[in-house]
A and B are shown apart, each in its own frame.
Chain A
Protein backbone atom coordinates (compact mmCIF):
# COMPACT_ATOMS: atom_id res chain seq x y z
CA UNK A 1 0.00 0.00 0.00
CA UNK A 2 1.36 3.43 -0.99
CA UNK A 3 0.09 6.30 1.11
CA UNK A 4 2.15 9.22 -0.13
CA UNK A 5 -0.35 10.36 -2.74
CA UNK A 6 -2.38 13.53 -2.30
CA UNK A 7 -5.19 12.96 0.17
CA UNK A 8 -8.59 14.53 0.67
CA UNK A 9 -7.51 16.52 3.71
CA UNK A 10 -4.64 18.06 1.78
CA UNK A 11 -7.09 19.91 -0.43
CA UNK A 12 -8.12 23.49 0.35
CA UNK A 13 -11.81 22.70 0.25
CA UNK A 14 -13.67 19.55 1.29
CA UNK A 15 -17.10 18.74 -0.05
CA UNK A 16 -19.64 18.12 2.65
CA UNK A 17 -22.34 15.90 1.28
CA UNK A 18 -25.52 14.51 2.83
CA UNK A 19 -26.65 11.52 0.80
CA UNK A 20 -29.98 11.28 2.57
CA UNK A 21 -30.94 14.73 1.26
CA UNK A 22 -29.61 14.09 -2.22
CA UNK A 23 -32.15 13.26 -4.88
CA UNK A 24 -29.47 12.46 -7.41
CA UNK A 25 -30.53 15.07 -9.92
CA UNK A 26 -26.90 15.47 -10.99
CA UNK A 27 -27.03 19.28 -11.25
CA UNK A 28 -24.03 19.75 -8.98
CA UNK A 29 -21.81 17.49 -11.02
CA UNK A 30 -23.00 18.99 -14.26
CA UNK A 31 -22.37 22.52 -13.08
CA UNK A 32 -18.95 22.02 -11.49
CA UNK A 33 -16.59 23.57 -13.99
CA UNK A 34 -13.56 22.23 -12.14
CA UNK A 35 -14.68 18.58 -12.33
CA UNK A 36 -14.11 18.53 -8.61
CA UNK A 37 -17.04 16.21 -7.98
CA UNK A 38 -18.23 13.12 -9.73
CA UNK A 39 -20.98 10.56 -9.40
CA UNK A 40 -19.72 7.50 -7.58
CA UNK A 41 -21.09 4.38 -5.98
CA UNK A 42 -20.81 3.37 -2.36
CA UNK A 43 -21.26 -0.12 -1.08
CA UNK A 44 -23.66 -0.28 1.87
CA UNK A 45 -23.99 -3.48 3.83
CA UNK A 46 -26.28 -4.06 6.76
CA UNK A 47 -25.68 -7.06 9.00
CA UNK A 48 -28.32 -8.19 11.47
CA UNK A 49 -28.36 -10.94 14.08
CA UNK A 50 -31.71 -12.75 14.21
CA UNK A 51 -32.49 -14.89 17.23
CA UNK A 52 -34.11 -18.24 16.62
CA UNK A 53 -34.38 -21.66 18.09
CA UNK A 54 -30.76 -22.46 17.38
CA UNK A 55 -29.76 -19.29 19.18
CA UNK A 56 -29.26 -16.72 16.41
CA UNK A 57 -28.40 -16.44 12.77
CA UNK A 58 -26.79 -13.69 10.66
CA UNK A 59 -28.77 -11.87 8.01
CA UNK A 60 -27.00 -9.44 5.70
CA UNK A 61 -28.35 -6.91 3.20
CA UNK A 62 -25.96 -5.44 0.63
CA UNK A 63 -26.74 -2.47 -1.70
CA UNK A 64 -24.88 -0.24 -4.11
CA UNK A 65 -25.85 3.43 -3.57
CA UNK A 66 -25.04 6.21 -6.04
CA UNK A 67 -23.44 9.20 -4.30
CA UNK A 68 -21.55 12.40 -5.10
CA UNK A 69 -17.83 12.07 -4.50
CA UNK A 70 -15.01 14.55 -4.45
CA UNK A 71 -12.13 14.25 -6.86
CA UNK A 72 -8.70 14.16 -5.30
CA UNK A 73 -6.43 15.53 -7.96
CA UNK A 74 -3.93 18.36 -8.40
CA UNK A 75 -5.82 19.77 -11.36
CA UNK A 76 -9.42 18.79 -10.77
CA UNK A 77 -9.91 19.89 -7.20
CA UNK A 78 -12.53 21.94 -5.45
CA UNK A 79 -11.94 25.73 -5.40
CA UNK A 80 -14.81 26.33 -3.03
CA UNK A 81 -16.81 28.35 -5.54
CA UNK A 82 -20.05 26.92 -4.17
CA UNK A 83 -21.82 26.53 -7.49
CA UNK A 84 -22.86 23.02 -6.39
CA UNK A 85 -24.60 24.52 -3.38
CA UNK A 86 -26.26 27.12 -5.57
CA UNK A 87 -27.77 24.55 -7.91
CA UNK A 88 -28.65 21.85 -5.36
CA UNK A 89 -32.42 21.92 -4.77
CA UNK A 90 -32.12 20.25 -1.35
CA UNK A 91 -29.02 21.88 0.09
CA UNK A 92 -27.30 18.50 0.21
CA UNK A 93 -23.84 19.62 -0.78
CA UNK A 94 -21.40 22.39 0.09
CA UNK A 95 -17.69 23.07 0.06
CA UNK A 96 -16.11 23.62 3.47
CA UNK A 97 -12.74 25.30 3.87
CA UNK A 98 -10.07 22.94 5.11
CA UNK A 99 -8.06 24.94 7.59
CA UNK A 100 -5.26 22.40 7.71
CA UNK A 101 -4.74 22.11 3.97
CA UNK A 102 -1.24 21.85 2.54
CA UNK A 103 -2.23 21.89 -1.09
CA UNK A 104 0.49 24.33 -2.14
CA UNK A 105 3.16 21.95 -0.91
CA UNK A 106 1.54 18.93 -2.49
CA UNK A 107 1.03 20.73 -5.80
CA UNK A 108 4.63 21.87 -6.06
CA UNK A 109 5.95 18.47 -5.01
CA UNK A 110 3.88 16.67 -7.56
CA UNK A 111 4.18 18.95 -10.57
CA UNK A 112 7.43 20.86 -10.11
CA UNK A 113 5.38 23.92 -11.10
CA UNK A 114 4.71 27.20 -9.39
CA UNK A 115 1.19 27.56 -8.08
CA UNK A 116 -0.84 29.94 -10.22
CA UNK A 117 -4.01 31.66 -9.34
CA UNK A 118 -6.45 34.32 -10.36
CA UNK A 119 -7.61 37.14 -8.12
CA UNK A 120 -5.59 39.34 -5.87
CA UNK A 121 -3.65 38.97 -2.67
CA UNK A 122 -5.13 36.51 -0.22
CA UNK A 123 -2.80 37.24 2.65
CA UNK A 124 -4.47 39.61 5.03
CA UNK A 125 -1.69 40.00 7.50
CA UNK A 126 -2.68 43.48 8.56
CA UNK A 127 -5.73 45.71 8.40
CA UNK A 128 -6.24 47.91 5.37
CA UNK A 129 -4.75 51.35 5.72
CA UNK A 130 -7.68 52.92 3.91
CA UNK A 131 -10.04 51.55 6.55
CA UNK A 132 -7.99 53.19 9.30
CA UNK A 133 -8.54 56.58 7.69
CA UNK A 134 -11.79 58.44 8.17
CA UNK A 135 -13.26 61.51 6.55
CA UNK A 136 -12.90 63.85 9.48
CA UNK A 137 -13.37 67.39 8.36
CA UNK A 138 -17.06 67.79 8.87
CA UNK A 139 -18.45 71.17 7.95
CA UNK A 140 -20.07 73.20 10.65
CA UNK A 141 -21.93 76.48 10.83
CA UNK A 142 -19.45 78.73 9.10
CA UNK A 143 -18.63 76.34 6.27
CA UNK A 144 -21.96 74.67 5.81
CA UNK A 145 -22.24 71.15 4.56
CA UNK A 146 -24.07 70.45 1.33
CA UNK A 147 -27.06 68.35 0.52
CA UNK A 148 -25.90 65.34 -1.41
CA UNK A 149 -29.19 64.88 -3.16
CA UNK A 150 -30.15 68.49 -3.86
CA UNK A 151 -26.97 70.39 -4.59
CA UNK A 152 -25.17 70.00 -7.88
CA UNK A 153 -21.75 68.43 -7.95
CA UNK A 154 -19.10 68.66 -10.61
CA UNK A 155 -17.38 65.31 -10.30
CA UNK A 156 -14.90 65.33 -13.12
CA UNK A 157 -11.20 64.81 -13.24
CA UNK A 158 -8.51 65.14 -15.88
CA UNK A 159 -6.99 62.48 -18.04
CA UNK A 160 -4.16 64.10 -19.95
CA UNK A 161 -1.26 66.40 -19.29
CA UNK A 162 -2.24 69.51 -17.37
CA UNK A 163 -0.05 72.49 -18.16
CA UNK A 164 1.22 75.14 -15.84
CA UNK A 165 -1.14 78.14 -16.16
CA UNK A 166 1.68 80.13 -17.73
CA UNK A 167 1.89 77.63 -20.57
CA UNK A 168 -1.73 77.28 -21.58
CA UNK A 169 -1.11 79.64 -24.45
CA UNK A 170 -3.84 82.22 -24.23
CA UNK A 171 -3.64 85.71 -25.67
CA UNK A 172 -5.67 88.78 -24.84
CA UNK A 173 -7.79 90.16 -27.69
CA UNK A 174 -10.14 93.06 -26.89
CA UNK A 175 -10.05 92.29 -23.19
CA UNK A 176 -10.89 88.63 -23.72
CA UNK A 177 -8.64 85.62 -23.51
CA UNK A 178 -8.42 83.60 -26.68
CA UNK A 179 -6.52 80.45 -27.52
CA UNK A 180 -3.36 81.41 -29.33
CA UNK A 181 -2.81 79.74 -32.66
CA UNK A 182 0.94 79.58 -32.21
CA UNK A 183 1.12 76.18 -30.59
CA UNK A 184 -1.15 73.35 -29.63
CA UNK A 185 -1.59 72.17 -26.08
CA UNK A 186 -1.63 68.53 -24.96
CA UNK A 187 -4.94 66.69 -25.18
CA UNK A 188 -6.95 66.50 -22.00
CA UNK A 189 -10.23 64.79 -21.22
CA UNK A 190 -12.53 65.55 -18.34
CA UNK A 191 -13.79 62.22 -17.13
CA UNK A 192 -15.36 60.54 -14.13
CA UNK A 193 -12.78 59.90 -11.39
CA UNK A 194 -13.47 56.17 -11.40
CA UNK A 195 -12.10 54.14 -14.29
CA UNK A 196 -12.77 50.54 -15.10
CA UNK A 197 -9.31 49.08 -15.12
CA UNK A 198 -7.51 47.13 -17.69
CA UNK A 199 -8.96 43.67 -18.04
CA UNK A 200 -8.39 42.23 -21.46
CA UNK A 201 -10.84 40.54 -23.68
CA UNK A 202 -8.66 37.45 -23.40
CA UNK A 203 -8.79 37.41 -19.63
CA UNK A 204 -12.53 37.92 -19.57
CA UNK A 205 -15.12 36.13 -21.60
CA UNK A 206 -16.34 38.05 -24.62
CA UNK A 207 -19.78 38.15 -23.03
CA UNK A 208 -18.41 39.68 -19.84
CA UNK A 209 -16.39 42.17 -21.82
CA UNK A 210 -19.40 43.07 -23.87
CA UNK A 211 -21.43 43.57 -20.71
CA UNK A 212 -18.83 45.99 -19.30
CA UNK A 213 -18.72 47.87 -22.58
CA UNK A 214 -22.52 48.15 -22.62
CA UNK A 215 -22.53 49.37 -19.02
CA UNK A 216 -19.92 52.01 -19.82
CA UNK A 217 -21.82 53.26 -22.84
CA UNK A 218 -25.06 53.35 -20.84
CA UNK A 219 -23.47 55.20 -17.95
CA UNK A 220 -22.10 57.79 -20.36
CA UNK A 221 -25.05 58.24 -22.62
CA UNK A 222 -28.03 57.73 -20.35
CA UNK A 223 -26.81 58.39 -16.84
CA UNK A 224 -24.44 61.21 -17.73
CA UNK A 225 -21.56 59.65 -15.81
CA UNK A 226 -18.49 59.98 -18.08
CA UNK A 227 -16.78 56.81 -16.96
CA UNK A 228 -14.03 55.30 -19.11
CA UNK A 229 -12.71 51.75 -19.38
CA UNK A 230 -9.28 50.51 -20.26
CA UNK A 231 -9.13 47.61 -22.65
CA UNK A 232 -6.26 45.72 -21.10
CA UNK A 233 -3.65 44.16 -23.29
CA UNK A 234 -4.74 42.41 -26.40
CA UNK A 235 -6.72 44.90 -28.38
CA UNK A 236 -10.35 45.04 -29.30
CA UNK A 237 -12.65 43.45 -31.82
CA UNK A 238 -12.49 45.36 -35.06
CA UNK A 239 -16.16 46.19 -34.92
CA UNK A 240 -15.70 48.05 -31.65
CA UNK A 241 -12.54 49.78 -32.85
CA UNK A 242 -14.51 51.23 -35.72
CA UNK A 243 -17.58 52.09 -33.66
CA UNK A 244 -18.49 55.38 -32.02
CA UNK A 245 -18.07 53.68 -28.63
CA UNK A 246 -14.31 53.80 -29.00
CA UNK A 247 -14.38 57.22 -27.34
CA UNK A 248 -15.14 55.52 -24.03
CA UNK A 249 -12.17 53.16 -24.31
CA UNK A 250 -8.61 53.64 -23.19
CA UNK A 251 -6.50 51.42 -25.42
CA UNK A 252 -3.73 49.63 -23.62
CA UNK A 253 -0.38 48.76 -25.01
CA UNK A 254 1.40 46.38 -22.68
CA UNK A 255 4.80 44.80 -22.77
CA UNK A 256 3.69 42.03 -25.13
CA UNK A 257 2.23 44.54 -27.58
CA UNK A 258 -0.50 42.00 -28.26
CA UNK A 259 -3.35 43.23 -30.39
CA UNK A 260 -1.68 46.37 -31.64
CA UNK A 261 -1.56 45.22 -35.25
CA UNK A 262 -5.30 45.13 -35.30
CA UNK A 263 -5.56 48.55 -33.63
CA UNK A 264 -3.12 50.10 -36.08
CA UNK A 265 -4.86 48.47 -39.03
CA UNK A 266 -8.14 49.94 -37.84
CA UNK A 267 -6.87 53.48 -37.38
CA UNK A 268 -7.87 54.76 -40.81
CA UNK A 269 -11.41 53.55 -40.19
CA UNK A 270 -11.86 54.88 -36.67
CA UNK A 271 -14.89 57.17 -36.33
CA UNK A 272 -13.75 58.42 -32.95
CA UNK A 273 -10.49 58.83 -31.14
CA UNK A 274 -10.06 56.57 -28.15
CA UNK A 275 -10.32 58.19 -24.71
CA UNK A 276 -6.66 57.60 -24.13
CA UNK A 277 -3.70 55.30 -24.53
CA UNK A 278 -2.34 53.47 -21.51
CA UNK A 279 1.15 52.10 -21.69
CA UNK A 280 1.45 49.33 -19.14
CA UNK A 281 4.96 48.74 -17.94
CA UNK A 282 5.37 45.16 -16.75
CA UNK A 283 2.47 43.38 -15.18
CA UNK A 284 0.26 45.85 -13.39
CA UNK A 285 0.61 45.48 -9.69
CA UNK A 286 3.29 42.83 -9.89
CA UNK A 287 6.65 44.15 -10.97
CA UNK A 288 8.75 41.48 -12.60
CA UNK A 289 5.90 39.14 -13.23
CA UNK A 290 4.78 39.01 -16.80
CA UNK A 291 1.08 38.75 -17.43
CA UNK A 292 -0.17 35.29 -18.13
CA UNK A 293 -2.89 34.24 -20.45
CA UNK A 294 -3.05 30.50 -20.18
CA UNK A 295 -3.31 28.43 -23.29
CA UNK A 296 -6.70 27.27 -22.08
CA UNK A 297 -8.01 30.78 -22.58
CA UNK A 298 -6.18 31.54 -25.79
CA UNK A 299 -8.93 30.28 -28.06
CA UNK A 300 -9.42 31.06 -31.73
CA UNK A 301 -11.22 34.37 -31.17
CA UNK A 302 -8.48 35.60 -28.86
CA UNK A 303 -5.76 34.43 -31.22
CA UNK A 304 -7.38 36.48 -33.95
CA UNK A 305 -7.65 39.61 -31.84
CA UNK A 306 -4.15 39.30 -30.42
CA UNK A 307 -2.50 38.01 -33.54
CA UNK A 308 -0.71 35.13 -31.85
CA UNK A 309 -0.98 31.33 -32.12
CA UNK A 310 -2.50 29.13 -29.48
CA UNK A 311 -0.06 29.00 -26.62
CA UNK A 312 0.42 30.40 -23.15
CA UNK A 313 0.75 34.12 -23.72
CA UNK A 314 3.34 35.61 -21.47
CA UNK A 315 3.73 39.36 -21.50
CA UNK A 316 7.37 40.13 -20.88
CA UNK A 317 8.05 41.92 -17.61
CA UNK A 318 9.05 45.07 -19.41
CA UNK A 319 8.73 46.63 -22.83
CA UNK A 320 11.60 45.06 -24.69
CA UNK A 321 14.06 47.57 -26.06
CA UNK A 322 13.38 50.26 -23.50
CA UNK A 323 16.57 51.49 -21.98
CA UNK A 324 15.42 54.36 -19.76
CA UNK A 325 12.50 56.49 -18.71
CA UNK A 326 13.63 59.23 -21.07
CA UNK A 327 13.73 56.72 -23.89
CA UNK A 328 10.28 55.49 -23.03
CA UNK A 329 9.05 59.05 -23.22
CA UNK A 330 10.65 59.61 -26.56
CA UNK A 331 10.00 56.31 -28.20
CA UNK A 332 6.62 55.25 -26.98
CA UNK A 333 4.93 58.43 -25.99
CA UNK A 334 6.02 60.36 -29.03
CA UNK A 335 5.30 57.57 -31.46
CA UNK A 336 1.87 56.97 -29.98
CA UNK A 337 1.11 60.65 -29.94
CA UNK A 338 2.21 60.93 -33.55
CA UNK A 339 0.04 57.97 -34.45
CA UNK A 340 -3.00 59.68 -32.98
CA UNK A 341 -1.96 63.14 -34.18
CA UNK A 342 -1.41 64.45 -30.63
CA UNK A 343 -5.15 64.32 -29.99
CA UNK A 344 -5.25 61.46 -27.48
CA UNK A 345 -3.80 61.53 -23.94
CA UNK A 346 -1.09 58.94 -23.43
CA UNK A 347 -0.61 57.66 -19.88
CA UNK A 348 1.67 55.11 -18.27
CA UNK A 349 0.86 52.41 -15.75
CA UNK A 350 3.42 51.10 -13.31
CA UNK A 351 3.48 48.97 -10.22
CA UNK A 352 3.61 50.76 -6.89
CA UNK A 353 7.20 50.20 -5.85
CA UNK A 354 10.19 51.93 -4.36
CA UNK A 355 11.06 53.29 -7.78
CA UNK A 356 7.66 54.54 -8.85
CA UNK A 357 8.34 57.93 -7.27
CA UNK A 358 11.56 58.22 -9.27
CA UNK A 359 9.70 57.40 -12.44
CA UNK A 360 7.01 59.94 -11.63
CA UNK A 361 9.65 62.55 -10.89
CA UNK A 362 11.23 61.96 -14.24
CA UNK A 363 7.95 62.16 -16.05
CA UNK A 364 7.09 65.44 -14.31
CA UNK A 365 10.21 66.89 -15.84
CA UNK A 366 9.40 65.56 -19.28
CA UNK A 367 10.08 68.54 -21.53
CA UNK A 368 7.56 67.45 -24.15
CA UNK A 369 4.61 67.68 -21.74
CA UNK A 370 3.47 64.49 -23.30
CA UNK A 371 2.75 62.20 -20.38
CA UNK A 372 -0.97 62.33 -19.79
CA UNK A 373 -1.37 60.29 -16.62
CA UNK A 374 0.39 58.10 -14.12
CA UNK A 375 -1.44 54.94 -13.14
CA UNK A 376 -0.19 53.26 -9.97
CA UNK A 377 -1.20 49.72 -9.10
CA UNK A 378 -0.65 48.59 -5.52
CA UNK A 379 0.04 45.21 -3.95
CA UNK A 380 -3.60 44.33 -3.47
CA UNK A 381 -4.17 44.91 -7.15
CA UNK A 382 -4.78 41.76 -9.02
CA UNK A 383 -4.43 40.07 -12.27
CA UNK A 384 -6.53 37.46 -13.89
CA UNK A 385 -3.68 35.01 -13.69
CA UNK A 386 -0.36 35.10 -11.97
CA UNK A 387 1.96 33.07 -9.88
CA UNK A 388 0.56 32.89 -6.38
CA UNK A 389 3.86 33.90 -4.88
CA UNK A 390 3.75 37.16 -6.83
CA UNK A 391 0.13 37.84 -5.99
CA UNK A 392 0.63 37.37 -2.29
CA UNK A 393 4.11 38.66 -1.70
CA UNK A 394 5.14 41.26 -4.29
CA UNK A 395 4.51 44.96 -4.44
CA UNK A 396 3.91 48.04 -2.33
CA UNK A 397 0.64 49.13 -0.75
CA UNK A 398 -0.98 51.77 -2.88
CA UNK A 399 -1.74 54.37 -0.22
CA UNK A 400 1.71 55.54 0.82
CA UNK A 401 3.10 55.24 -2.67
CA UNK A 402 0.36 57.38 -4.11
CA UNK A 403 0.96 59.91 -1.35
CA UNK A 404 4.70 59.90 -2.03
CA UNK A 405 4.10 60.61 -5.70
CA UNK A 406 1.64 63.39 -4.95
CA UNK A 407 3.90 65.06 -2.41
CA UNK A 408 6.91 64.88 -4.68
CA UNK A 409 4.86 66.80 -7.23
CA UNK A 410 3.80 69.28 -4.55
CA UNK A 411 7.40 69.97 -3.65
CA UNK A 412 8.03 70.94 -7.24
CA UNK A 413 4.81 72.91 -7.55
CA UNK A 414 3.61 70.46 -10.20
CA UNK A 415 0.74 68.72 -8.48
CA UNK A 416 -2.03 67.75 -10.82
CA UNK A 417 0.07 68.28 -13.93
CA UNK A 418 0.38 64.54 -14.51
CA UNK A 419 -2.87 63.19 -13.06
CA UNK A 420 -2.37 60.30 -10.67
CA UNK A 421 -4.69 57.31 -10.79
CA UNK A 422 -4.49 54.73 -8.02
CA UNK A 423 -5.58 51.12 -7.79
CA UNK A 424 -4.85 47.97 -5.89
CA UNK A 425 -7.62 46.69 -3.70
CA UNK A 426 -9.79 49.75 -4.27
CA UNK A 427 -13.27 48.73 -3.17
CA UNK A 428 -11.91 45.57 -1.53
CA UNK A 429 -14.18 46.24 1.45
CA UNK A 430 -17.12 46.65 -0.90
CA UNK A 431 -17.23 50.43 -0.55
CA UNK A 432 -15.72 51.87 -3.67
CA UNK A 433 -16.83 55.42 -2.92
CA UNK A 434 -15.08 55.52 0.45
CA UNK A 435 -11.81 54.21 -0.94
CA UNK A 436 -11.98 56.50 -3.95
CA UNK A 437 -12.74 59.55 -1.82
CA UNK A 438 -9.85 58.90 0.55
CA UNK A 439 -7.37 58.27 -2.24
CA UNK A 440 -8.52 61.44 -3.99
CA UNK A 441 -8.00 63.43 -0.79
CA UNK A 442 -4.51 61.97 -0.60
CA UNK A 443 -3.73 63.25 -4.08
CA UNK A 444 -5.21 60.90 -6.65
CA UNK A 445 -7.02 62.46 -9.57
CA UNK A 446 -8.97 59.23 -9.81
CA UNK A 447 -8.98 55.51 -9.14
CA UNK A 448 -9.33 52.44 -11.29
CA UNK A 449 -10.95 49.16 -10.43
CA UNK A 450 -10.72 45.62 -11.75
CA UNK A 451 -11.76 42.78 -9.59
CA UNK A 452 -14.60 44.77 -8.08
CA UNK A 453 -16.18 44.89 -11.53
CA UNK A 454 -16.06 41.11 -11.69
CA UNK A 455 -17.77 40.99 -8.33
CA UNK A 456 -20.44 43.38 -9.59
CA UNK A 457 -21.00 40.88 -12.37
CA UNK A 458 -21.54 38.07 -9.88
CA UNK A 459 -18.04 36.64 -9.41
CA UNK A 460 -18.17 34.25 -6.48
CA UNK A 461 -14.49 34.59 -5.67
CA UNK A 462 -13.27 36.54 -2.70
CA UNK A 463 -10.05 37.65 -1.08
CA UNK A 464 -10.04 34.72 1.32
CA UNK A 465 -9.18 31.98 -1.13
CA UNK A 466 -12.60 31.27 -2.53
CA UNK A 467 -12.60 30.26 -6.20
CA UNK A 468 -9.73 32.43 -7.52
CA UNK A 469 -9.58 30.24 -10.60
CA UNK A 470 -9.63 32.98 -13.22
CA UNK A 471 -6.42 31.58 -14.64
CA UNK A 472 -7.86 28.18 -15.47
CA UNK A 473 -10.42 29.22 -18.01
CA UNK A 474 -12.96 27.27 -16.01
CA UNK A 475 -14.71 30.20 -14.32
CA UNK A 476 -17.95 28.76 -13.02
CA UNK A 477 -19.75 32.07 -13.54
CA UNK A 478 -18.69 32.47 -17.14
CA UNK A 479 -16.84 35.68 -16.38
CA UNK A 480 -13.20 34.76 -16.96
CA UNK A 481 -13.47 31.91 -19.38
CA UNK A 482 -13.28 31.42 -23.10
CA UNK A 483 -15.31 28.24 -22.90
CA UNK A 484 -18.55 29.09 -24.74
CA UNK A 485 -20.60 26.73 -22.60
CA UNK A 486 -19.42 28.35 -19.38
CA UNK A 487 -19.60 31.87 -20.81
CA UNK A 488 -23.20 31.25 -21.73
CA UNK A 489 -24.01 31.12 -18.02
CA UNK A 490 -23.48 34.86 -17.92
CA UNK A 491 -26.53 37.04 -18.49
CA UNK A 492 -25.05 40.02 -20.33
CA UNK A 493 -27.92 42.37 -19.63
CA UNK A 494 -27.98 41.49 -15.97
CA UNK A 495 -24.23 42.07 -15.65
CA UNK A 496 -24.46 45.43 -17.41
CA UNK A 497 -27.32 46.41 -15.15
CA UNK A 498 -25.41 45.40 -12.03
CA UNK A 499 -22.43 47.50 -13.08
CA UNK A 500 -24.60 50.49 -13.91
CA UNK A 501 -26.42 50.20 -10.59
CA UNK A 502 -23.22 49.86 -8.59
CA UNK A 503 -21.64 52.90 -10.23
CA UNK A 504 -24.81 54.95 -9.78
CA UNK A 505 -24.86 53.97 -6.11
CA UNK A 506 -21.20 54.89 -5.85
CA UNK A 507 -21.92 58.25 -7.42
CA UNK A 508 -24.48 58.98 -4.72
CA UNK A 509 -22.09 57.75 -2.04
CA UNK A 510 -19.29 59.95 -3.34
CA UNK A 511 -21.62 62.92 -3.00
CA UNK A 512 -22.56 61.72 0.47
CA UNK A 513 -18.90 62.05 1.39
CA UNK A 514 -18.42 65.35 -0.41
CA UNK A 515 -21.46 66.91 1.23
CA UNK A 516 -20.27 66.91 4.85
CA UNK A 517 -16.91 68.21 3.74
CA UNK A 518 -18.70 71.02 1.95
CA UNK A 519 -17.23 70.37 -1.49
CA UNK A 520 -19.07 70.35 -4.76
CA UNK A 521 -15.97 69.47 -6.74
CA UNK A 522 -13.41 66.73 -6.28
CA UNK A 523 -11.21 67.30 -3.22
CA UNK A 524 -7.99 66.26 -4.96
CA UNK A 525 -5.15 66.62 -2.47
CA UNK A 526 -7.42 67.79 0.35
CA UNK A 527 -5.64 65.66 2.90
CA UNK A 528 -6.87 67.99 5.64
CA UNK A 529 -10.26 66.31 5.20
CA UNK A 530 -8.85 63.02 6.49
CA UNK A 531 -8.04 61.82 9.98
CA UNK A 532 -6.45 58.66 11.29
CA UNK A 533 -6.25 57.06 14.71
CA UNK A 534 -3.02 55.27 13.87
CA UNK A 535 -0.18 57.69 14.53
CA UNK A 536 2.26 55.88 12.30
CA UNK A 537 -0.12 56.02 9.38
CA UNK A 538 -1.00 59.64 10.09
CA UNK A 539 2.65 60.66 10.24
CA UNK A 540 3.57 58.70 7.13
CA UNK A 541 0.76 60.19 5.09
CA UNK A 542 0.97 63.65 6.63
CA UNK A 543 -2.63 63.69 7.76
CA UNK A 544 -4.21 64.61 11.06
CA UNK A 545 -3.70 62.14 13.91
CA UNK A 546 -6.72 61.79 16.18
CA UNK A 547 -7.30 59.62 19.18
Chain B
Protein backbone atom coordinates (compact mmCIF):
# COMPACT_ATOMS: atom_id res chain seq x y z
CA UNK B 1 0.00 0.00 0.00
CA UNK B 2 1.85 3.08 -1.23
CA UNK B 3 2.19 6.34 0.64
CA UNK B 4 1.20 9.59 -1.01
CA UNK B 5 2.19 13.13 -0.21
CA UNK B 6 -0.42 15.70 -1.11
CA UNK B 7 1.21 19.13 -1.40
CA UNK B 8 -1.43 21.80 -0.96
CA UNK B 9 -0.51 24.77 -3.14
CA UNK B 10 -2.12 28.19 -2.92
CA UNK B 11 -1.53 31.51 -4.62
CA UNK B 12 -0.72 33.68 -1.63
CA UNK B 13 -1.25 36.88 -3.64
CA UNK B 14 -4.87 35.98 -4.39
CA UNK B 15 -5.82 34.00 -1.32
CA UNK B 16 -8.69 35.34 0.81
CA UNK B 17 -7.13 38.01 3.05
CA UNK B 18 -9.15 36.99 6.10
CA UNK B 19 -7.75 33.44 5.82
CA UNK B 20 -9.82 30.28 6.31
CA UNK B 21 -13.31 30.84 7.74
CA UNK B 22 -14.28 29.11 11.01
CA UNK B 23 -16.72 26.99 8.97
CA UNK B 24 -13.91 25.88 6.65
CA UNK B 25 -11.71 24.98 9.63
CA UNK B 26 -14.62 23.01 11.10
CA UNK B 27 -15.30 21.09 7.87
CA UNK B 28 -11.61 20.44 7.35
CA UNK B 29 -11.21 19.21 10.92
CA UNK B 30 -14.13 16.81 10.50
CA UNK B 31 -12.74 15.47 7.23
CA UNK B 32 -9.24 15.00 8.66
CA UNK B 33 -10.80 13.06 11.52
CA UNK B 34 -12.66 10.91 8.99
CA UNK B 35 -9.46 10.21 7.00
CA UNK B 36 -7.67 9.33 10.24
CA UNK B 37 -10.50 7.00 11.26
CA UNK B 38 -10.21 5.28 7.89
CA UNK B 39 -6.63 4.43 8.84
CA UNK B 40 -5.35 6.53 5.92
CA UNK B 41 -3.90 9.76 7.36
CA UNK B 42 -0.35 9.44 8.62
CA UNK B 43 0.46 13.11 9.10
CA UNK B 44 -0.91 16.48 8.06
CA UNK B 45 -0.26 20.14 8.81
CA UNK B 46 -0.67 23.64 7.49
CA UNK B 47 2.33 25.92 7.02
CA UNK B 48 2.82 29.52 8.08
CA UNK B 49 2.89 32.08 5.21
CA UNK B 50 5.94 32.05 2.95
CA UNK B 51 6.78 35.54 4.30
CA UNK B 52 8.05 33.73 7.39
CA UNK B 53 9.92 31.16 5.31
CA UNK B 54 13.41 31.02 3.87
CA UNK B 55 14.93 29.32 0.87
CA UNK B 56 18.39 27.86 1.03
CA UNK B 57 19.89 27.40 -2.42
CA UNK B 58 22.92 25.41 -3.60
CA UNK B 59 24.39 26.27 -6.98
CA UNK B 60 27.86 26.22 -8.45
CA UNK B 61 29.21 25.11 -5.10
CA UNK B 62 27.80 28.22 -3.40
CA UNK B 63 25.09 28.49 -0.77
CA UNK B 64 22.62 31.35 -0.69
CA UNK B 65 19.71 32.06 1.62
CA UNK B 66 16.66 34.07 0.49
CA UNK B 67 14.00 35.45 2.82
CA UNK B 68 10.33 34.96 1.97
CA UNK B 69 7.77 35.83 0.74
CA UNK B 70 8.36 33.98 -2.51
CA UNK B 71 6.34 36.32 -4.71
CA UNK B 72 7.83 35.05 -7.97
CA UNK B 73 6.12 31.67 -7.46
CA UNK B 74 2.53 31.60 -8.57
CA UNK B 75 1.69 28.98 -6.00
CA UNK B 76 3.53 28.05 -2.83
CA UNK B 77 3.05 25.04 -0.57
CA UNK B 78 0.64 25.99 2.20
CA UNK B 79 0.22 22.58 3.75
CA UNK B 80 0.60 18.88 3.24
CA UNK B 81 -1.07 15.54 3.95
CA UNK B 82 0.77 12.25 4.09
CA UNK B 83 -1.61 9.38 3.39
CA UNK B 84 -1.33 5.63 2.95
CA UNK B 85 -3.80 4.44 0.33
CA UNK B 86 -4.44 1.33 -1.72
CA UNK B 87 -3.75 3.22 -4.91
CA UNK B 88 -3.54 6.66 -6.49
CA UNK B 89 -7.29 6.66 -7.19
CA UNK B 90 -8.02 6.41 -3.48
CA UNK B 91 -5.55 9.21 -2.68
CA UNK B 92 -7.24 11.38 -5.33
CA UNK B 93 -10.72 10.69 -3.89
CA UNK B 94 -9.67 11.84 -0.40
CA UNK B 95 -7.89 14.85 -1.94
CA UNK B 96 -11.06 15.85 -3.81
CA UNK B 97 -13.00 15.69 -0.56
CA UNK B 98 -10.37 17.89 1.08
CA UNK B 99 -10.64 20.49 -1.69
CA UNK B 100 -14.45 20.44 -1.51
CA UNK B 101 -14.36 21.63 2.10
CA UNK B 102 -13.25 25.07 0.72
CA UNK B 103 -15.68 27.81 -0.28
CA UNK B 104 -15.97 28.74 -3.96
CA UNK B 105 -13.78 31.83 -3.67
CA UNK B 106 -10.72 29.70 -2.90
CA UNK B 107 -8.28 28.60 -5.58
CA UNK B 108 -6.27 25.62 -4.35
CA UNK B 109 -4.20 22.95 -6.10
CA UNK B 110 -3.23 19.67 -4.51
CA UNK B 111 -0.25 17.98 -6.08
CA UNK B 112 -0.45 14.30 -5.17
CA UNK B 113 2.86 12.43 -5.38
CA UNK B 114 3.62 8.84 -4.59
CA UNK B 115 6.49 8.31 -2.17
CA UNK B 116 9.33 6.23 -3.59
CA UNK B 117 9.85 3.12 -1.48
CA UNK B 118 12.81 0.84 -0.99
Q: Do A and B come from one complex?
A: no
Residues in chain B within 8 A of chain A (CB atoms): none
